[in-house]
A and B are shown apart, each in its own frame.
Chain A
Amino acid sequence: MASLSSYLLVGAVLFSLGLYGVVTRRNGVAVLMGVELILNAANVNFLAFARFGGMNMAGHVYALFVIVLAAAEAAVALAIIINIFNNFNTINVDEVSELKQ
């Protein structure tokens, strides 16, 4: 049986991957996926703590909330990216740079 720290390690790895993705990816959708990784890293942590801490259900509840909100956020973000694509014909975030020209 894996210990708490291994779950946390998975969380940390996910988190780092997410960060990496957010920082390096140019594609808007890919960046969003990085964000999702970060959120899920947190979720892993929540669940792990809830499971191994012998604690109440708060962690699980939290994770559920996060999933729902992440979905909502993703929906909005994708809507915006679609709109961007309509206007700019690209979803490369670096090319979306009208401001401060």
Chain B
Amino acid sequence: MSNLNSLTHFWPELILTVTVLVAIIADLIYRKEDSFKVAWWVLGGLALTLFAVRMSGGALSGLFMGTIAMDPFANFFKVLVLISTTFVILMSFDSADLKGYRVGEYFSILAIMAFGLFLMASAIDVIMVYLAIEIVSIMSFFLAGYLKKNQSSNEASLKYVIYGAFSSGIMLYGLSLLFGLTGTTKFFEMREAIAQLGPDANLALILSAVFILVGFGYKISAVPFHFWTPDVYEGSPTTITAYLSVAPKAAGFAMLIRFFNQVFGDGAPLGSDAWTALNNVPWPQLVAVLAAATMTVGNLVAIQQSSVKRMLAYSSIAHAGYMMMALPLMTQSGVYGIMIYLLMYLFMNLGAFYVVIYVQGKIGGESFDDYNGLGWRMPFVAGVMTLFMVALTGLPPTAGFIGKFYIFAAVIEAGSQYYWLAFVGVVNSVISLYYYIRVVKHMYLSGDRSDSISMPTSNLTTVILIALAIPTFVFGWYFSDVADWIHNSLVIFQGM
């Protein structure tokens, strides 16, 4: 589709772009103490975008000369991105980190990042892939280092920028090799070219594949490309940590799945039961091992943490590992499982981080000991936190269980050659119980009882917590509609 034609299908992104512009202009108008009002503009824009995303759909097409796909698959991830961006913006109002900073551009950058994530979810051309990743990365560097006077935040952004640039550089090198092998930048053409490659190209293909994996792996923080995660997560403002643990990860998975399915897969549509990897690309086993390693490392290291925030950072690595379990299966159920998991994970993880933000604001710390006796002093927050922890562990009847359930179901369905992976997965769930329940233990079992009860003072806090808790709980036993919606989103644009 030509560029001009494409624009007519590009409404969500256009609205988002306008939102960004409006936000920047608004930021110029507001005084510093009013700068948080920019958020309302952004939120309005996001709402419009959400509306536009829901309205689009219909025909599958490749926009801008086949670099961007419009399909339900991308739309699902866009919705995910919009929901998480909205929540993060709302959460930022209460953030203690951001006090004393001009936050207008903070919200603008979030909106730009959302735009980048949109592109990630729908890129079908390696140029667009690189472009999208870079937009997201650069915005993330900003956000991670947003607290200019805070050394941790500085350090986080430095590490992030160096590691990010490094891995995207390596990925780019891999992409260049792939380009050389196939002579094209478009996913579909690449697949056809690879299918015709002789065995002598294998080494180069593997080399490029692995290099590309570095880029993707960095985005979803898969082992062994996860090293930046704990430091960046801990140093960044907690709102941004929450955001980084959800939205870019979702978009990263979207891109990864698309890339898998279209470049290194046989190109069968997702609606079919299974597609296979191209013979000469041994993706599945590699990713399976990485998945196992990712969740094991994430879980094991999370046990050691003394800070809840850092524990959540490591646990987010583990969750990436759970989701990665479904990648090598090359089945529709696998992708389906990842999508459901991401949705469920969004609510519970944002919720957990929000409680961390809240406690940080009220108590001033984020270590486990700061949570002692929380169950008596802040029964509502502690109760909701318990729910999130239980959900993150993956116990029914919470959303976390449903996510895991679909993932494990996909793994089991794929046949007995992946049972070991399911086994590693469930063992990891048990390990994760230990550190998640530790939070609960500190809230209820440790520390003194107190008769003074404090409820959240701001209504916004209550609303956010409830808005995150309800899906976390309700999707645990009623997920039929969600499952159907996601099932309908399992349609990937397969080229002209």
Contact = CB atoms under 8 A, between A and B. Distances in A.
* A–B direct contact (CB < 8 Å): yes
Interface of A: 8, 11, 15, 18, 22, 28, 31-32, 34-35, 38-39, 41-43, 45-46, 48-49, 53, 55-56, 58-59, 61-62, 65-66, 69, 72-73, 76-77, 80-81, 83-84, 87-88, 93, 96-100
B157 A80 contact: yes
10 contacts: A18-B169, A35-B165, A42-B173, A45-B180, A56-B184, A77-B162, A77-B165, A87-B149, A96-B158, A99-B155
B83 to A, nearest CB: 27
Interface of B: 126-127, 130-131, 134, 137-138, 141-142, 145, 148-149, 151-152, 154-159, 161-162, 165-166, 169-170, 172-173, 175-177, 179-180, 183-185, 230-231, 234-235, 310
B169 A35 contact: yes
B69 to A, nearest CB: 18
A39 B158 contact: no
B231 A62 contact: no
Contacts of A61: 127
B138 A42 contact: no
B161 A76 contact: yes
A69 B131 contact: yes
Interface of B is mostly: helix
B131 A46 contact: no
B180 A35 contact: no
Given A62-B179, A99-B234, A38 B172 contact: yes
Most chain B CB within a 10 A radius of its CB, from A42, A61, A65, A72: A42
A49 B154 CA distance: 39
Interface of A is mostly: helix
Contacts of B169: 18, 35, 38-39, 42
Contacts of B175: 42
B154 A83 contact: yes
Contact of B166 (A22, A49, A65, A100): A22
A87 B152 contact: no
Contacts of A83: 145, 148, 154, 157
A49 B130 contact: no
B130 A66 contact: yes
A65 B162 CA distance: 20
A80 B235 contact: no
A35 B173 CA distance: 11
B209 to A, nearest CB: 15
A28 B158 contact: yes
A73 B138 contact: yes
Given A42-B172, A80-B141, A80-B154, 13 more contacts: A11-B176, A32-B162, A35-B169, A38-B172, A45-B179, A49-B180, A62-B179, A66-B130, A73-B137, A81-B158, A93-B162, A99-B155, A99-B235
Contacts of B154: 80, 83-84, 87-88, 96
Nearest to B179: A49
Contacts of B231: 99-100
A97 B155 contact: yes
B158 to A, nearest CB: 5
Nearest to A95: B155
Nearest to B176: A45
A84 B158 contact: yes
A41 to B, nearest CB: 6
Given A84-B154, A87-B154, A96-B158, A49 B176 contact: yes
Across the A-B interface, give the 4 residue pairs with the lowest CB-CB distance, nearest first: A38-B169, A45-B176, A49-B180, A42-B172
B141 to A, nearest CB: 5
Contacts of B134: 69, 72-73
A101 B172 CA distance: 34
B360 to A, nearest CB: 16
Nearest to A55: B183
B166 A35 contact: yes
A99 B156 contact: yes
Contact of A65 (B130, B141, B161): B130
A69 B130 contact: yes
A45 B165 contact: no
Contacts of B156: 99
A83 B156 CA distance: 12
B318 to A, nearest CB: 18
Contacts of A73: 134, 137-138, 161, 165
Contact of B152 (A18, A72, A99): A99
A65 B165 CA distance: 15
Nearest to B157: A80
B166 A98 contact: no
B151 A88 contact: yes
